[in-house]
Amino acid sequence: MIQIKQLSKIYSKGKNQVTALEDINLTIEQGTIYGIIGLSGAGKSSLIRCINRIEEPTSGEVWINKVDITHLSPGELRKVRKKIGMIFQNFNLLSSKTVFENIAFPLRLNKTPENVVKEKVMALLELVDLKEKAHVYPSQLSGGQKQRVGIARALVSDPDVLLCDEATSALDPKTTKQILSLLKEINQSLGLTIVIITHEMEVIKEVCTDVTILENGRVVEQGKTIDIFSKPGNEITKHFVDQIQHLPTHLHNGTLLSLSFTQGSAGEPVISKLIKELQVDVNILAGKIEWIQEKPIGKLTVEIDRNTVPLSQIIDYFEKNQVRVEVFNYE
């Protein structure tokens, strides 16, 4: 668990002072994927960098697994930091080292025996699906592959916490989804706590169960992602939610689906056929038309009763009818 208590960060340069963070309080439960979102300059990087003390907080405390890391000696801090992995927007790989050696690097610093290095690095290459790239150099990799190497290197010391500093901001939407799904897989299989900072609500929507919204160095809202999406209580939160789409203010017990109708499916009575054929209750919550390069896409947000028909059957039905389905990740 990570607890941040009354944390402030003031940068001083000569007579100038910039308050980057003011009185931040937040609790990140063990094993969650926690998102911190804000506009440029909101203080996101300062906050994530204070969590492992790459940046020294001006005041306040950061507790990781019941240890106050703001009052540790340099030696003790080094030990704690080994349990905190970090990945970056620009990947921070060593260009003169192969993929294998980049991942092995933290182990080499600790003089880990060669057989252990080999075993750990190969297992991680398998996990991030890059076995065949072990001996190539970063310049020969795509952005998504570079970030996979970054993730493997961050995991090599068996951390409890993974900090992601705008880790998908340099990637295209499809690669972003792949990296986010890898992070989710790692979170589930290793029970790792993941903290993601981002300026994209799409990232929060995709993987974060909890979210804090920062504005001008202060927390303006925090809570479960579902609640923030359902009832954004603040202008800046509304701005981020609108990046995705308007969602209903009241959710019942169903599964929330976003449906995209393109030309092939737009003329068909797909919803009424679904209700008749599968005998499932459908609650229509929101709809709009989005124009993508002068082509219309109908967007419908519906709630489906999750107790009557398996979700996979409903998704199959929509796909057969040329309707793209996205299931909101609100569990």
Give me the residues that bind ligand ATP (CB under 6 A), please: 11, 13, 18, 20, 38, 40-46, 199
When the beta carbons of 20 and 259 are compared against ligand ATP, the nearer one is 20
Q: Minimum CB separation from ligand ATP for residue 44, in Å?
A: 4
When the beta carbons of 44 and 299 are compared against ligand ATP, the nearer one is 44
When the beta carbons of 167 and 280 are compared against ligand ATP, the nearer one is 167
Q: Minimum CB separation from ligand ATP for residue 200, in Å?
A: 11
When the beta carbons of 161 and 213 are compared against ligand ATP, the nearer one is 213
When the beta carbons of 70 and 145 are compared against ligand ATP, the nearer one is 70
Q: Minimum CB separation from ligand ATP for residue 52, in Å?
A: 14
**Torsion angle of alpha carbons 288, 251, 314, 187, nearest 10°?**
100
For residue 197 the two structure tokens come to 């900072």
Q: Give CA–CA dist 205/220, Å, rounded.
A: 18
Interior angle at CA 85, CA 169 and CA 47, nearest 5:
60
Q: Give CA–CA dist 156/71, Å, rounded.
A: 26
Q: Minimum CB separation from ligand ATP for residue 199, in Å?
A: 6
The three-class DSSP label of residue 36 is strand
Q: Minimum CB separation from ligand ATP for residue 296, in Å?
A: 33
| 114-123, long-range: CB < 8 A, 24+ apart | 120/156, 121/152, 121/156
- In one letter, which amino acid is 158? D
Q: How far apart are the first and last CA of the chain?
A: 20
